[in-house]
């Protein structure tokens, strides 16, 4: 009987059906073990192929697209000029601040040296008296300062209970540059200082104290101890229950503010924009459905430019009106001269006269100080030998006096 050789069936050509056909009757006993191994390997390979087909194929990862290089935004010539002007102003301001700091340091050093020289030039007994007198003056000054601080805190706490309410809207930080935000923070600091010095201070609110604006405010010395309302939310949310009493003060409003109602809450827009966002406060007030009003500046004086004032100027005008009940006096005491070159002569004559009286008194004092040297007595001399020399000296001094008088008398015509 002839047996079939195992080597006559290549592995790669034997399917599962053909392998199954290799029965023990067709294979010799010595090849049964190899047959079993071949069947097992073929079945495992088939199962692996089926599992591979049933599993989802991994998707190729998309290659990241290169980001287009953003070209720097070119500024117009006008914008470049404004930016250059602002940079020059900031550099000049920093230089001035550094110079003032150096001058302050030099003055302190000079006073210290003068004090040491004074102590060195007196006896031991007089030195002890001077030191004791200086200590007593310093103690008295500290006590007076402490007393003033207590009175200030008492006035501010009372204002929080029954004072006029003024809100500074700080929701415009996203429209300002870092330097403009810093300028607004300085104005808020001036507002708090002026309010604390007033006899009848108001109840100040700061709304929208978050983000960069909140960070800049927290850098102010003693800000956490300010007696003032600080609110991170916008005023429309913080004062929702009193919405009918909200009045937004904007120069674009048609209604003129005649009196300050203690029940009303007056809002001042905290925005330093160099007139880039014109009418934004009026638009905001209209969208929120609250009242609007403007200060009666046009009734008392003519502004050289627009009637837009800084935040501290608006609040100081309101504080002056609370104290004097007179818009005319409030405007002339707060608005700088460069913004009011022309004024109503009838409405503002009295205030201008008071200011001119003070200036005239100063001018008279200066004139007296200048004219005194011309009355000094000279030693007697030979009238014939010295007449020509004295005439030349008098002419020179008279010319100098005339020039000085002209320089002083010019402001009286303004």
Closest to 31 in 3D by CA, of 55, 11, 7: 7
Torsion of CA 153, 156, 158, 161, to 10 degrees: -140
Beta bridge partners of 169: 207, 269
Half-sphere CA count of 108, side-chain side, radius 13 A: 6
85/89 Cα distance (integer angstroms): 6
Full DSSP string of 277-320: STTHHHHHHHHHT-EEEB--GGGTEE-SS-S---HHHHHHHHHH
CA dihedral over 366, 370, 372, 375, signed as positive or negative: negative
d(CA 383, CA 361): 39
Distance set, CA 45 to CA 19, 21, 32, 38, 414 (Å): 14, 19, 20, 11, 108
The gap between the terminal CA atoms of the chain, to the nearest Å, is 143
Identified catalytic residue from 107, 261, 273, 402: 273
Which tokens in the block code for residue 49? 């192929």
8 Å CB contact between 303 and 340:
yes
Tokens 């200590």 belong to residue: 135
Compute the C-alpha angle 110/116/120, nearest 5°.
Answer: 145
Q: Record the tokens describing residue 357, joined without a space.
A: 């009286």
How many other CB atoms are there within 10 angstroms of residue 196's CB atom? 20
* Helices vs. strands in the chain: H and E counts, helices first: 12, 8
Answer whether 292's CB lies under 8 Å from 285's CB: yes
Q: Encoding tokens for residue 55? A: 């599993």
CA dihedral 76, 77, 83, 87 (to 10 degrees): 150
Q: Does the annotation mark 169 as catalytic?
A: no
Residue 236 tokens read as 């429309």
Beta strands 342-343; 301-302: pairing state: antiparallel
Cα dihedral sign, 151-156-162-165: positive
Supply the residues annotated as catalytic. Answer: 273
């Amino acid at each position: 009987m002839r047996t079939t050789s195992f080597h006559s069936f290549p592995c790669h050509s034997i399917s599962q059906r053909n392998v199954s056909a290799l029965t023990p009757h067709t294979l010799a006993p010595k090849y049964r073990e190899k047959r079993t191994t071949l069947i097992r390997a073929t079945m495992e390979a088939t199962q692996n192929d089926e599992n591979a087909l049933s599993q989802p194929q991994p998707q190729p990862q998309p290659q990241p697209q290169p980001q287009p290089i953003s070209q720097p935004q070119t500024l117009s010539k006008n914008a470049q000029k404004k930016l250059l002007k602002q940079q020059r102003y900031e550099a000049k301001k920093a230089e001035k601040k550094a110079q003032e700091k150096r001058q302050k340091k030099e003055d302190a050093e000079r006073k210290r040296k003068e004090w040491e020289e004074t102590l060195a030039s007196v006896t031991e007994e007089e030195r002890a008296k001077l030191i004791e007198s200086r200590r007593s003056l310093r103690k008295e000054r500290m006590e007076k300062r402490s007393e003033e601080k207590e009175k200030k805190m008492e006035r501010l706490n009372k204002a929080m209970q029954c004072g006029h309410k003024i809100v500074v809207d700080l929701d415009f930080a996203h429209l300002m540059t870092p330097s403009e935000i810093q300028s607004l923070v300085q104005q808020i600091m001036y507002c708090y200082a002026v309010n604390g010095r007033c006899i009848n201070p108001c109840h100040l609110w700061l709304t929208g104290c978050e983000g960069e604006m909140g960070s800049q405010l927290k850098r102010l010395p003693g800000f956490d101890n300010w007696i003032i309302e600080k609110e991170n939310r916008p005023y429309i949310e913080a004062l929702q229950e009193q919405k009918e009493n909200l009045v937004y003060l904007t120069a674009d409003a048609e209604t003129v503010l005649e009196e300050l109602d203690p029940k009303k809450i007056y809002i001042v827009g905290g925005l330093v924009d160099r007139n880039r966002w014109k009418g934004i406060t009026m638009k905001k007030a209209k969208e929120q459905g609250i009242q609007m009003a403007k200060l009666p500046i046009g009734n008392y004086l003519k502004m050289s430019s627009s009637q837009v004032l800084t935040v501290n100027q608006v609040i100081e005008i309101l504080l002056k009106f609370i104290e004097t009940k007179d818009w005319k006096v409030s405007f002339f005491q707060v608005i700088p001269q460069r913004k009011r070159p022309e004024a109503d002569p009838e409405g503002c004559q009295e205030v201008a006269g008071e200011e001119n009286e003070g200036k005239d008194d100063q001018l008279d004092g200066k004139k007296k100080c200048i004219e005194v040297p011309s009355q000094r007595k000279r030693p007697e001399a030979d009238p014939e030998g010295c007449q020509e020399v004295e005439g030349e000296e008098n002419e020179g001094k008279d010319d100098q006096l005339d020039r000085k008088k002209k320089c002083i008398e010019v402001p009286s015509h303004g």
